């Protein structure tokens, strides 16, 4: 951003000799990133039917950014929904409803799927319809992981003598659980230590 009377690309210094141009550019980039983060969070909340501005703002006070969802659980979403339902009208009472609660939980799993593969969630190239399809698939994967983990779990190792039996069950469980990319989690086990 060139100032009046300053050549483009020129370095501007303050009285102490600090480079104001670089600082200004950094501040502008930070502001743009914050706007993008705000837009992503607002857009996904709109797409899952939190279309009242006050409701979105209330949710944003609890879940400020999309990355805040990585460490949440479905239980936290349920507790949040119950907390807002119990409030008085003056204190910001809000009913999520069944569909919005399910979609918020599905969005949570969608964000966590991105985190599993060390990627940042993005709405780029998505429409409301394709976003809802993506979060639906993420919720289905989460349900499958829960169900298969319960069924295939070898349980707790209660006795060292049963180690061989337990590890066989554990390996079986990992072979049935699929990661976000569709690959069984068994790949995390190494037969031999790498040098």
75 vs 149, residue with greater confidence: 75
Q: What is the pLDDT of residue 8?
A: 47
pLDDT digit string, tens, across residues 66-95: 889 998 999 999 999 999 999 998 888 999
- Is residue 2 over pLDDT 90? no
Residue 98 sits at the vertex; the CA angle it makes with 115 and 81, to the nearest 5 degrees, is 65
Is the pLDDT assigned to residue 38 strictly greater than 70?
no
Does residue 182 carry a pLDDT above 60?
yes
Please provide the size of the chain in residues.
195
What is the DSSP track for the chain? -PPTTS-TT---B-TT--BHHHHHHHHHHHHHHHHHHHHHHHHHHHHTT--SHHHHHHHHHHS-SGGGGTT--HHHHHHHHHHHHHS-TTTT----HHHHHHHHHHHHHHHHHHHHTT-----TT--HHHHHHHHHHHHHHHHHHHHHHHHH-------GGGHHHHHHHHHHHHHH-B-TTS-BGGGG--SS---
pLDDT above 70 as % of the chain: 76
Q: Report how far residue 84's alpha carbon sits from residue 100's, in angstroms, rounded to the nearest whole number.
A: 13
Residues 6+ apart with CB under 8 A from 39: none
């Amino acid at each position: 951003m060139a100032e009046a009377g300053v050549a483009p690309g020129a370095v501007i210094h303050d009285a102490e000799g600090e480079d104001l141009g670089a600082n200004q550019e950094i501040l502008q980039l930070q502001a743009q990133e914050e706007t993008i983060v705000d837009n992503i969070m607002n857009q996904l909340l709109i797409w899952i039917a939190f279309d009242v501005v006050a409701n979105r703002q209330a949710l944003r006070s609890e879940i400020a950014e999309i990355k805040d969802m990585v460490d949440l659980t479905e239980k936290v979403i349920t507790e949040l929904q119950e907390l807002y339902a119990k409030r008085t009208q003056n204190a910001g009472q809000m009913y999520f409803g069944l569909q919005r609660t399910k979609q918020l939980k599905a969005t949570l799993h969608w964000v966590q799927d991105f985190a599993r593969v060390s990627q940042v969630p993005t709405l780029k190239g998505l429409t409301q319809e394709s976003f809802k399809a993506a979060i639906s698939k993420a919720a289905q994967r989460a349900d499958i992981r829960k169900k298969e983990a319960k069924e295939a779990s070898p349980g707790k190792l209660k006795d060292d003598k049963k180690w061989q039996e337990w590890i066989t069950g554990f390996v079986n469980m990992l072979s049935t659980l699929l990661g976000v990319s569709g690959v069984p989690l068994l790949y995390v086990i190494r037969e031999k230590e790498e040098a």
